[in-house]
Structures are given as structure tokens and as C-alpha cells.
Structure 1
Amino acid sequence: MKSYGQFCPIAKACEALGERWTLLLVRELLCGSHRYNDFKRGLPLISPTMLSQRLNVLQQRGLVELKHSDDNKSREYHLTQAGRELEPIVMGLGEWGARWVRSQMSDDDLSVELLMWDMRRTINCQALPGGRTVMHFSFKGLDKTYGNWWLLAEGGEIDLCVDDPGFDPDIKFHSDLRTMVMLWLGDIKLTEAESSGKLNIKGSSTLLKTFPEWFRFSGFADIKSGYA
């Protein structure tokens, strides 16, 4: 990134973090992504070349380091102390965005990949029944490639599937993408989405009863609009 030609620490920080995708990549690292394919799921529109470039730059700037995975079979990207210190800044940006610019969401901002990846990493597996739990999400208006998604929870782990895993779903969600995104962000209540007919949920009585315990909304869902 071209220098601002200023010694101001704010200017220097902007030079380090102001390039396209950089802060979103830091967001993914803060949310627990450590591998290349995980970054691609959280940032589906970034090109492989750009992703590699941004990871390399973050390493050069001392914000990210490569470590061996727990099984020692692969290498993972982790934030350094300098990178971890960005957490309140990134979360603060999210809070500001939820308060002041969330209402400016266009159809182009509705990413089903990001929605499903976000939901996958916030499901509370500890509140699910024992054994395997299969959740099926179907979205009206999307093609076959993106219209159906599955979350498969078992043994405290949860996987996101774009292909039918071959198990009968324990709970099914049917909605249009905008309604599900609005629900996730806290812009519409569950009862409102269901009563309007825009969201239909069917499943086991146990999962329906304990829904508020295992389904966690966006961390910014409780932030009220600054224009209200």
C-alpha cells in the first residue's frame, strides 16, 4: 500500500491494515479460522492469489505466524500478539457497523456462504442432544449449488456440508436468504419471521424447544440502530 507520508501512528496503522480484505482476514482469524480453506469459506469472493498475498503481507508485518497443527500434519495461520491486539478494534468496527450502516445492506451483500459459515461456528454443540444432529437449511430463490446446506454436529464438532451428508435431518429451516440473514443479525424476531410465513422450521420437539440454547445469533445482533 502506498505510504501516506505521515509519521502519525493512525496513518501508519492504516498503511498496515487498510488494504482490501486485510481486516476481514483478521476477522476470520479472530473467529477461529486457521487454514486456507477455512479462510475461503469465510471470504468466498477473495481470489486464491489475493488470499495468499494478504496472508504473506500479514506475516511480513508481524501480525500472523505459521504454526504446526495439533496433529503435526499441516501448518496453520495464527495471530501473533500484535495481531491479537486488533480484536477490540475489529469488534469495535463491527459494533459501529451494526449501529450505523447495517440498514444499507443490498442484495449483493447477501452471502449464503458467509451466513452458513458464521452459523456453523456459533452453534452451541454442548446444548444439542447426544449423538448426531443434522440440520438442513433450504433457501428459496437460490440455485441447486447454493440452495441447500447442512450442518452436521457430532462429538462436540460441527461440519458444514454443501452436499447431502446422507442422514435424515433432525431439523429443517426453509426461508429466503434475506430473511435468514435478518434473523441472524437480529433485525427480525424469530416469531415475526415465522408468523409472516417467510421462515418455516420443522424438527424434533427437543430441538425446537431448546432452540434458544443451541442456536446463537450474531455477536452484533443485540446492537440497536443509531437511527432508531
Structure 2
Amino acid sequence: MKGYGQFCPIAKACEALGERWTLLLIRELLCGSHRYNDFKRGLPLISPTMLSQRLNVLQQRGLVELRRSEDNKSREYHLTQAGLELEPIVMGLGEWGARWVRSQMSDDDLSVELLMWDMRRTINCAALPDCRTVLHFEFHDLGQPYRHWWMLAENDGIDLCVDDPGFDPDLHFISDLRTMTALWLGDTTIVAAESDDRLKICGASLLLRNLPEWFMFSGFAAVKSGLSDARGSG
């Protein structure tokens, strides 16, 4: 990236963070992704070459470091202190986006891979039964291989897959991608989506009753849009 030719700290920060994919890669690291395949699931459109380049640059800039995994069998990427200090900046940017530009989402912005990956990492396992819990999501507007998704929650961990794991689902969600995305972002509610026949949930009654306790929405879902206020004040 060509520099701005300015000593201003804002300009220098933009030079360090302004390249395509960089802030989203930091988002993934802040959300708990540490391995190459995790980054690919959170950033499905990034090419392997670009991902490697961005990780290398972040290491060179002192924002990311390589560590051995706890089992000492693989390498993991972790934020350094400099990288961790970006959290309020990145989350603040997300809050601004939720307040002012989330309504500009087009069909091209919809990504079932990112949606399912985000949902998977925010499920509250502590509120699920101690035994294995199988969640099946069906997107009736998508073709294979993205129509069916399964989450297997067991031992405080969740596996996400597009291949049938062979277990009967405890809960079955049927919807379309836009509705599930709107639900995840807080732009609609389960009650509203069900009443409009855009969402159907069926399965274990206990899971249905406790759904608000374990089915967590986006961290920005509670951010109120500022567009109506801005238009009203004009």
C-alpha cells in the first residue's frame, strides 16, 4: 500500500490497517479464530494467497505473532499487545456500521458461510443440555452444498458442518438466508419472522423454551439504527 506521506498518527494507522481484508482479519482474531482454516471460514471470499500475504504483513507490523497450539501439533496466529489494543477501535467501527450503514446490505453481501460461522461461535453452550445437541439449519432458497447446515454441541464445543453427521436433529430451523441474517443482526425477531412464515423452528420443547438463553445474536444486534433520527431531524 502506498503511503500518505504524512507524519500524522491517523495517516500512519491507516497505512498499517487500510489494506483490503486487514481489519476483517483482525476481527476474526478478536473473535477467537487462530488457525488458517478458521480464517477461511470467517472470510470465505479471501484467496489463500491474499490470506497468507495479509498474515505475513500483520506479523511484520507487530500486530500478530505465531505460537504453537496447546497440543503442540500446529501453529496458531495470535494478536500481540498492539493488535489487542485494536479491539475497541474495531468494535467501535462495527457499532458505527450497525447504526449507520447496515440498511445498505445488498444480496451480494449475504454470506451463509459467514452467518453460520458467526452463529456457531456465539452459541451459549453452557445453556444447552449436557448431552449432545444437534441443530439443523435449512435454507430453502439455497442450493447444494449450502442448503443444509448442522451444529453439533458437545463437551462445551461446537462443530459446524454441511454434511449430515448422521444424528437426528434436536432442533430444526427452516428459513431463507436474508431472514436468518436479519434475525442474527437484530433487524427482525423470531416472533415476527415466524408470524410472517419466514421462519419455522421445530423440535425439542425444552430447547425451544430456553432458546433465548443459548441462541445468541450478533454483538451489534442491540445497536439502534440512527438513520430514522437523522432523517427526522432534517
Alignment partner of 1:22 is 2:22: yes
Match for 2:153: what amino acid? Answer: A
Question: Displacement, 1:140?
Answer: 1.4
Q: Secondary structure at the match of 2:227?
A: coil
Q: Secondary structure at the match of 1:141?
A: coil
Question: Displacement, 1:162?
Answer: 1.0
Structure 1 segment 46-65 matched on structure 2, within 5 A: 46-65=46-65
Structure 1 segment 136-147 matched on structure 2, within 5 A: 136-147=136-147
Structure 1 segment 8-157 matched on structure 2, within 5 A: 8-157=8-157
Gaps of 5+ in 1: none
Which residue of structure 2 lines up, in the alignment, with residue 193 of structure 1?
Answer: 193
Match for 2:67: what amino acid? Answer: K
Q: Deviations over 1:174-220 (max 9, x none)?
A: 00000000000000011000000000000100000000000000000
The share of aligned pairs that are identical, in percent, is 79
Which residue of structure 2 lines up, in the alignment, with residue 7 of structure 1?
Answer: 7
Structure 1 segment 149-228 matched on structure 2, within 5 A: 149-228=149-228
Match for 2:193: what amino acid? Answer: A
Question: Displacement, 1:107?
Answer: 0.2
Q: Deviations over 1:83-132 (max 9, x none)?
A: 00000000000000000000000000000000000000000000001110
Q: Secondary structure at the match of 2:65?
A: strand
Question: Displacement, 1:163?
Answer: 0.5
Question: Displacement, 1:227?
Answer: 1.2
Q: Secondary structure at the match of 1:120?
A: helix
Q: Secondary structure at the match of 2:201?
A: strand
Distance between the aligned counterparts of 2:16 and 2:156, measured in 1? 37
Q: What number of residue pairs does the alignment pair up?
A: 228
Which residue of structure 1 lines up, in the alignment, with residue 232 of structure 2?
Answer: none
Distance between the aligned counterparts of 2:142 and 2:189, measured in 1? 23
Question: Displacement, 1:144?
Answer: 1.3
Match for 2:206: what amino acid? Answer: T
Match for 2:227: what amino acid? Answer: Y
Q: Supply the RMSD in Å over aligned alpha carbons.
A: 0.4
Q: Deviations over 1:136-168 (max 9, x none)?
A: 000011111111100100010001011111100
Q: What is the TM-score normalised by the length of structure 2?
A: 0.97
User: Which portions of structure 1, spanning 4 or more consecutive aligned residues, are displaced by more than 2 angstroms?
Assistant: none
Which residue of structure 1 lines up, in the alignment, with residue 231 of structure 2?
Answer: none
Q: Secondary structure at the match of 2:221?
A: coil
